[in-house]
C-alpha cells in the first residue's frame, strides 16, 4: 500500500502580513490569496520493521529512527518530525512504522508558502493513511499548531489554510479565529489575471522568520508607521477582492503597487537594493505594479503586465538580473490525498 498527497503553493495577492500575531490579535487581519499549479508532494509507505524513515529523494537526504514514540526535531527533516510527533502524541499513542518521502516544486525561502504547504501535504498523507476524522479547518489549524506552537517557527496563518482549501480565498483573521471565504470568480477574469501576472524567481532566497520577527517587534513597540502600513494592506485586500469579483482586472497593477509601497514600511528588511532594482526595471518595461511574494527579502516576485507587456517584462528581467520566469496556472483545488 502507498499513500500519496499533494498540496498547492500560493500567491499572496493582497494583505500579506496582517495574518501575523500580534497584529491580527489586536486589529484583525485580512488576506486575499490564490493557489497555483506548483505543489508539495508526500508519499507514505507503511512498513513492518519498526523504523521511521524520512527521505528527500531529490536531495539524497535520509534519516532513520527505531521504534520512536518521539523523534528529535533537529536536522533537515524538522517539519516531517514535527508532524510525526503530533500524530503519535494526539492520535495513535504508539510508534509508527513507515517510510515517508517528500518533494516541493519551489525552493524553500521562495515566498510561496513552501514550508507550511509541505506540512499540510505531510499531514494530509497521515490523515489518508490513518483515516483520521479531520476536516479542512481541522487540518489547516493542526498544521498551524505544529509549525508555530510545537516547533516554535515564526510566521503567520494564511499558508496552511491556502494549501488546505485551495482556489481564490478572502481570509479573515481575528486572534485564533480564521474564516476562509472562497470567491466565486468568472473563469474569464481568472484567465485574464493569469495571462497578465508574471511570476519571476529572483534566484535568491530569504529567511522569512527574521523579517516577520522584525514586523512583530514593530507592532509590539507600537511603531506607528509599521502599524499604519498594515492597516493599509488590510484595505488593499478589500480592494483586491472587489476588483477581482467585479472583473476590474486592469486595476490590479495599481492595487499591487499600493500594497508594495506600504509593505516596505512594515519592516526594514522587506526589500533591498536588488529587489528595488528588479521592481523598477519591471515597471519601466511596462508592468503597472507588483510585489515580492511572502515576507520579503528575496525569492519570488510577481508583476501585473497589461496588454502584451508580459513579454518585454520577462525579457528585461531575465537579461538584466538572471533568474527565471515561471509558468503556472491558478488551481481551484487544495489538498488532495489518495491510496494506491
Opening angle at CA 99, ends 127 and 101, nearest 5: 80
- β-strand pairing of 29-46 with 98-104: antiparallel
Do residues 194 and 187 lie in contact, with contact meaning Cβ atoms separated by under 8 Å? no
Give CA–CA dist 158/170, Å, rounded: 10
Grid cell locating 333: 483545488
- Best CA proximity match to 336, nearest among 59, 105, 13, 8: 8
Kindly name the residue from 159, 203, 210, 276 that is annotated as catalytic.
Answer: 159
Beta bridge partners of 177: 174
Residue linked to cell 514586523: 215
Question: Grid coordinates 498551524 are at which residue?
Answer: 144
Task: Answer yes or no: 159 catalytic.
Answer: yes
Q: Which residues are catalytic?
A: 159
Amino acid at each position: 500500500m502507498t499513500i500519496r498527497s499533494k498540496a498547492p503553493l500560493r500567491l499572496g495577492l493582497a494583505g500579506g502580513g496582517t495574518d501575523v500575531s500580534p497584529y491580527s490579535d489586536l486589529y484583525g487581519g485580512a488576506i486575499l490569496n490564490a493557489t497555483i499549479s506548483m505543489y508539495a508532494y508526500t508519499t507514505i509507505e507503511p512498513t513492518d520493521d519498526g523504523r521511521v524513515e524520512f527521505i528527500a529523494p531529490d536531495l539524497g537526504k535520509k534519516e532513520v529512527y527505531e521504534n520512536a514514540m518521539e523523534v528529535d526535531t533537529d536536522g533537515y527533516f524538522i517539519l516531517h518530525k514535527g508532524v510525526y510527533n503530533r500524530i503519535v502524541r494526539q492520535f495513535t499513542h504508539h510508534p509508527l512504522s513507515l517510510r515517508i518521502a517528500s518533494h516541493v516544486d519551489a525552493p524553500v525561502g521562495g515566498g510561496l508558502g513552501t514550508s507550511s504547504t509541505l506540512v499540510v501535504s505531510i499531514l494530509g498523507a497521515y490523515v489518508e493513511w490513518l483515516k483520521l476524522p479531520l476536516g479542512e479547518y481541522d487540518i489547516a489549524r493542526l498544521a498551524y499548531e505544529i509549525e508555530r506552537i510545537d516547533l516554535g517557527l515564526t510566521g503567520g496563518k494564511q499558508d496552511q489554510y491556502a494549501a488546505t482549501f485551495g482556489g481564490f480565498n478572502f481570509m479573515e483573521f481575528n486572534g485564533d479565529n480564521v474564516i476562509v471565504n472562497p470567491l466565486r470568480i468568472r473563469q474569464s477574469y481568472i484567465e485574464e489575471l493569469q495571462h497578465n501576472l508574471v511570476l519571476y524567481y529572483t534566484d535568491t532566497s530569504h529567511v522569512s522568520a527574521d523579517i516577520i520577527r522584525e514586523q512583530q517587534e514593530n507592532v509590539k513597540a507600537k511603531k506607528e508607521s509599521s502599524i499604519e502600513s498594515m492597516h493599509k494592506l488590510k484595505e488593499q485586500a478589500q480592494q483586491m477582492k472587489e476588483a477581482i469579483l467585479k472583473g476590474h482586472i486592469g486595476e490590479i497593477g495599481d492595487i499591487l503597487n499600493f500594497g508594495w509601497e506600504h509593505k516596505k514600511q512594515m519592516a526594514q528588511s522587506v526589500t533591498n537594493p536588488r529587489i528595488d532594482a528588479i521592481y523598477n526595471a519591471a515597471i519601466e518595461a511596462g508592468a503597472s505594479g507588483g510585489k515580492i511574494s511572502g515576507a520579503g527579502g528575496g525569492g519570488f516576485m510577481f508583476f501585473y503586465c497589461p496588454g502584451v507587456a508580459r513579454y518585454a517584462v520577462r525579457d528585461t528581467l531575465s537579461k538584466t538580473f538572471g533568474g527565471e520566469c515561471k509558468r503556472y496556472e491558478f488551481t481551484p483545488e487544495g489538498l488532495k490525498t489518495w491510496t494506491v
